[in-house]
């Protein structure tokens, strides 16, 4: 399974980054792969973000 996280501006604080790291670790322990993107990446690099997600999905499907 794949989890795609989209992080807004509130994710740049140290407290939120730590919470995100804990959440990612928890999901990975459950066997999930986590891709995390910022709003800025989505706004400025949308095609590249989509390509990355597509590539990961294709790799995981084999």
**Per-residue pLDDT tens digits for 36-56:** 999 999 999 999 999 999 999
Residue 10: give the domain boundaries. Answer: 2-61
Question: How many domains are there within the chain?
Answer: 1
> What is the model's pTM?
0.81
Q: Predicted confidence band at 12 (pLDDT cuts at 50, 70, 90)?
A: confident
Distance from C-alpha of 48 to C-alpha of 50, rounded to nearest angstrom: 5
Point out which residues pair with 3 in neighbouring strands.
34
């Amino acid at each position: 399974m794949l989890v795609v996280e989209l992080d807004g501006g509130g994710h740049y604080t140290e407290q939120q980054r730590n919470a995100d790291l804990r959440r990612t670790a928890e999901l990975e322990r459950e066997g999930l792969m986590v891709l995390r993107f910022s709003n800025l990446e989505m706004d400025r690099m949308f095609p590249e973000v989509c390509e990355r997600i597509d590539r990961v999905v294709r790799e995981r499907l084999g």
